[in-house]
Every structure is written in structure tokens, then in C-alpha cells.
């Protein structure tokens, strides 16, 4: 077996996956002194980069290894594929060249041809049985786009605004569109919010732009929730970059009271966000069906919401402001707990900054019934807007009706601005253990007076403990009487049996 000389072939185009990939040396102007003295296997790679058919044929006829690999595991076929010399590739393949050898970075001749868009080379390698790198969805997409007929395109998902050419740049959260099965799926119209850059340099805003589609699908045998996003949301590079940053953030979010982000489709259109599917739905129809909840249940649910929101607000380096916290964005898990949803469709702000609205939101952007007055007044705001919304949700769970349910949607925010708040109509015992005071603090007119969710959790845990202890005290006497009743019945039965026996 011939030894492998310690050489790296750097002439011409380099591997499509090499980290320091460049154009290499200009092979057309490069002259190598003493070419005849160089190892014939290296000369084979040089002739392949030059398109020298006669030189290649002479070397192959003399027994030169057509599958020789340099120190980077690149072959003459890799070189020919990068340069686009189809006649050279044909000659090498006829001489016994392997069609799918991988270099040290995992790139094949076909992958190199795809990267450099050498259309005829792609067809040639495909004819000889070359296969795309199926582990990379981006590579497969580009492969399909380049190998279709020049006159008629076969079906393939169109490239998306976030599409990348290099397979190594595909994000970790990427889900191939063909993995999502929408057979017998259910579509639900739901507002979609997209990211837009803020004029404040260090603030990223995500704002509702249009209505999207929320769909139930199957992914790898599991039901998931999918939001489809139109390409019109991402009309410039800034929006695409901002959305990419948001997805990278969502990938890191992990909390039992926050809906789990599973991945996204970004390399084909339509782009999609995939999250866990909670079949019990959101809190809105549940409250409509149940009406007023018992204080114990309301506080239990409130703790779930507060814990999820506290996790988002304490995210580092930037807190995540929901700004659209309402019952329809709170989902019910099979375990009986609640999870905050649509948090990624929110606003990311620096800890030291407040968000300044550039324009007044329209009523179609969100429901004003749960929005803090400073947002309606088009003022600076921070995480405390979510605390205001939380207070309204907690009160609604106890009262059994929406805030200001007798008012129209456009009248409610005006009432908040006038420092009016929904009345406490439920019996005072429903607001025991400081619940009423907590709600009033949370919807305080001055955002700075509203507590953080960390403090809210502490208050709620104390309230929950007090209510639960009282419930146990009520249950114990009942169980004692039930137990005594069973004993009395048992004694009566035994006494009757003894009486019958004595008569016999």
C-alpha cells in the first residue's frame, strides 16, 4: 500500500465545509516548478484542478491511485467537483473513483458541487449514484433546487427568508417541513406577532402584524402545535435577523409553567414555529364554562401563572415582557397546571430600559380588556404591564366574569386610564387572606408600586397554605363523623346478629 504523503492540496476552490474555506490559489496562473518530481497522486489532483485530461489519463494509465486522499481526505473528484470540470469527473469515475468520498469536514463531491452551484456536475454525479447529505436539510433543499429541470420545476418547498446556503449554518432548532404531518389537522385562526427592530438601539420589539394559522400536526409520532408565518412578515434583513434572535432565545426557555418551544421550520416556506400541544386548550373557555372558581383553585392557578411569568421576567440578559397576558394565552396541561403561551411573541427589553411605543396599537393587535393603562396612553412601560394583566386574570377567576364585562372593548382601556377598576362583587370570604389587597397592588395606577412576580409568588404561597390548612380542618370533622357512623352501623349489625342467635 502506498504511503500517504503529508500534503494539503490548496489550489483552486476548497471544500464547501472547510472552516477557512476560500477560493484557494488561482490555479489558472499557478505554476509549479519541478512538477514531474512531485508525487503522481498529487499531480492527479493538480491536473484535476486544471482540467488537464491528457495528464490525468496518462497518470491513470500508469497506475496512479484515482482515490488518493490528501491530508484533508480530499480526492481528485472533490477538486473536479469544486471546479466544475465535468469531463474530468467523468474520466475519474470511469477510472474507478468513489462517487461519495467524504473529506475531513464531511463534505462529498456532490456537496461541493451543490455549494458552488455547478449544475452539470450535480447531474453527472447524480447519474453515477451520488447521494446528498441527508443529515442536512439545507443541503437537501439546495440540492433539489439545483437538480430540477431548467424548464420545469418539480415540487419542492420554496426557500424562506432565513434560508442558508451552507449546511453547517442550519440552526440546531431546525425541523424539516416534511417531518410535520398535517393529515386530519385542525386549523385555528390566531393572531401572530412578528419581530421588528426598534429605533432604540438595544431594544428588540416583537409586534403583531397579521393573522396567522395555528395548526395541530404530528411530529415524530407526537401531536404538536404549529404556527405558520407568512414571508411578508420578513421583508428586510433586520426583521429576519431579529426573528432569528428570538428563535435562539426560545430554544433556551425551559420551565414547567411555560409552553415548550420544540423547534422551527426556517429553511422552507411557509416558516413555522413548533411548540408542545396541550389538548385541554386555553383558560378562556374553561372559565366561561366553570364560572367563578373556588379560592383554593384560583390561587393554585394564579401561582402557576406567576411562576411562569417570573421565569420570563428574570430571563438573562434581557427580561421577556409578554404584554398580551390574558386567559386565551394561558394553556391547561393534563397535569392540571397552567402554562403561559405566546411569550416568545412578546417583547424583549434591556433590564435598564423601558419600551417606548412608536405608535398607538390598533384594537386588532390585542384585546384591550387586559392591557395596562400606560400601554394605551402610549407611554414607556416595562415588566409591570404583565403584573397589571395578572391582577385582572386573578380577579376574573374569583368573580367568574371578564373585567368590565358590561363595557365594550374600546371603553375598557379608557376606564383603566381614568383609574377605574373592575368591582369586587364576590363574597368577602372569597378574597380572604389578603387576596383583595394583592390584586389592588398589582393593578395600581403607578407601575412602580406594583409588586414583582417574585413577591407575588411569596404572597400567593402564604395564601395557598392558609386556605389549604382551613380546608383540611373542615374535612377532618366530616371524616370523623363518617368514621363514627360506620362504627355505629357495624355495632348495630353485630348486636342484631347476637340477638338472633340467642333466640335460636
Rounded (to 5) percent helix, strand, coil in the chain = 45, 15, 45
Determine the Cα–Cα distance for residues 21 and 82; give it in Å rounded to an integer. 12
Look up residue 209 and give its three cell numbers.
Answer: 402584524
CA distances from 478 to 219, 435, 470, 473, 481 (A): 49, 27, 13, 9, 5
Q: Give the DSSP per-residue string, 404-460.
A: TTTS-TTTHHHHHHTT------S-GGGGTTTHHHHHHHHT-SSGGGSPPHHHHHHHH
Residue 148 CA to its chain's centroid (Å):
31
Q: Judge whether 33 counts as a catalytic residue.
A: no
Pick from 117, 113, 138, 141: nearest CA to 128? 113
Report the length, in residues, of the chain: 504
Find out whether 346 and 322 touch, Cβ atoms under 8 Å: yes
Q: Find the catalytic residue in 112, 304, 324, 382.
A: 324
Whole-number Cα distances in Å, 46 to 11, 32, 42, 59: 7, 10, 6, 12
C-alpha cell at 502: 340467642
Between CA 18 and CA 211 the distance in angstroms is 42
As a three-state string, the secondary structure of 16-30 is CCCCCCCCCECCCCC
Distance CA 247, CA 171 (A): 9
| Cβ atoms of residues 317 and 390 within 8 Å | no
Active site residues: 324
Amino acid at each position: 500500500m502506498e504511503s500517504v504523503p503529508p500534503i494539503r492540496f490548496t489550489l483552486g476552490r476548497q471544500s464547501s465545509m472547510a472552516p477557512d474555506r476560500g477560493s484557494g490559489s488561482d490555479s489558472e496562473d499557478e505554476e509549479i516548478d519541478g512538477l514531474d518530481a512531485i508525487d503522481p497522486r498529487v499531480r492527479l489532483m493538480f491536473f484535476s484542478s486544471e482540467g488537464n485530461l491528457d495528464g490525468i489519463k496518462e497518470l491513470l494509465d500508469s497506475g496512479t491511485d484515482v482515490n488518493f486522499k490528501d491530508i484533508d481526505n480530499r480526492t481528485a473528484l472533490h477538486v473536479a467537483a469544486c471546479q466544475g470540470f465535468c469531463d474530468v469527473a467523468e474520466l475519474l469515475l470511469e477510472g474507478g473513483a468513489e462517487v461519495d468520498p467524504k473529506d475531513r469536514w464531511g463534505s462529498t463531491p456532490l456537496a461541493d458541487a451543490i455549494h458552488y452551484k455547478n449544475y452539470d456536475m450535480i447531474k453527472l454525479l447524480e447519474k453515477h449514484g451520488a447521494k446528498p447529505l441527508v443529515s442536512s436539510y439545507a443541503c437537501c433543499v439546495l440540492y433539489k433546487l439545483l437538480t430540477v429541470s431548467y424548464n420545469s420545476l418539480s415540487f419542492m418547498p420554496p426557500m424562506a427568508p432565513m434560508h442558508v446556503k451552507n449546511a453547517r449554518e442550519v440552526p440546531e432548532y431546525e425541523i424539516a417541513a416534511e417531518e410535520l404531518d398535517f393529515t386530519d389537522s385542525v386549523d385555528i385562526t390566531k393572531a401572530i406577532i412578528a419581530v421588528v427592530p426598534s429605533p432604540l438601539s438595544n431594544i428588540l420589539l416583537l409586534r403583531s402584524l397579521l393573522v396567522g394559522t395555528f395548526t395541530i400536526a404530528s411530529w415524530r409520532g407526537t401531536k404538536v402545535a404549529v404556527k405558520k408565518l407568512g414571508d411578508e412578515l420578513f421583508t428586510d434583513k433586520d426583521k429576519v435577523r431579529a426573528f432569528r434572535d428570538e428563535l435562539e432565545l426560545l430554544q433556551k426557555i425551559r420551565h414547567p409553567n411555560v409552553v415548550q418551544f420544540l423547534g422551527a421550520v426556517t429553511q422552507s416556506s411557509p416558516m413555522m414555529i413548533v411548540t408542545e400541544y396541550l389538548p385541554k386548550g386555553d383558560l378562556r373557555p374553561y372559565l366561561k364554562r366553570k364560572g367563578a372558581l373556588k379560592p383554593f383553585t384560583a390561587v393554585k392557578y394564579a401561582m402557576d401563572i406567576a411562576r411562569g411569568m417570573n421565569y420570563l421576567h428574570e430571563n438573562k440578559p434581557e427580561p421577556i415582557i409578554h404584554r398580551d397576558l390574558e386567559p386565551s394565552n394561558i394553556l391547561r396541561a393534563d397535569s392540571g397546571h397552567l402554562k403561559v403561551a405566546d411569550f416568545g411573541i412578546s417583547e424583549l427589553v434591556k433590564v435598564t430600559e423601558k419600551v417606548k411605543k412608536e405608535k398607538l396599537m390598533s384594537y386588532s393587535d390585542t384585546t384591550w380588556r387586559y392591557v395596562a393603562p400606560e400601554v394605551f396612553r402610549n407611554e414607556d412601560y416595562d415588566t409591570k404591564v404583565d403584573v397589571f394583566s395578572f391582577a385582572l386574570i386573578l380577579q376574573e377567576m374569583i368573580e367568574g366574569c371578564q373585567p368590565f364585562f358590561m363595557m365594550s372593548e374600546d371603553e375598557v382601556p379608557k376606564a383603566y386610564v381614568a383609574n377605574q377598576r373592575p368591582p369586587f362583587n364576590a363574597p368577602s370570604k372569597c378574597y380572604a387572606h389578603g387576596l383583595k389587597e394583592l390584586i389592588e397592588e398589582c393593578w395600581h395606577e403607578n407601575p412602580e408600586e406594583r409588586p414583582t412576580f417574585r413577591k407575588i409568588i411569596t404572597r400567593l404561597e402564604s395564601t395557598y397554605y392558609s386556605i389549604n390548612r382551613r380546608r383540611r380542618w373542615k374535612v377532618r370533622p366530616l371524616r370523623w363523623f363518617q368514621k363514627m357512623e360506620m362504627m355505629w352501623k357495624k355495632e348495630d349489625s353485630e348486636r342484631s346478629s347476637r340477638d338472633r342467635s340467642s333466640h335460636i
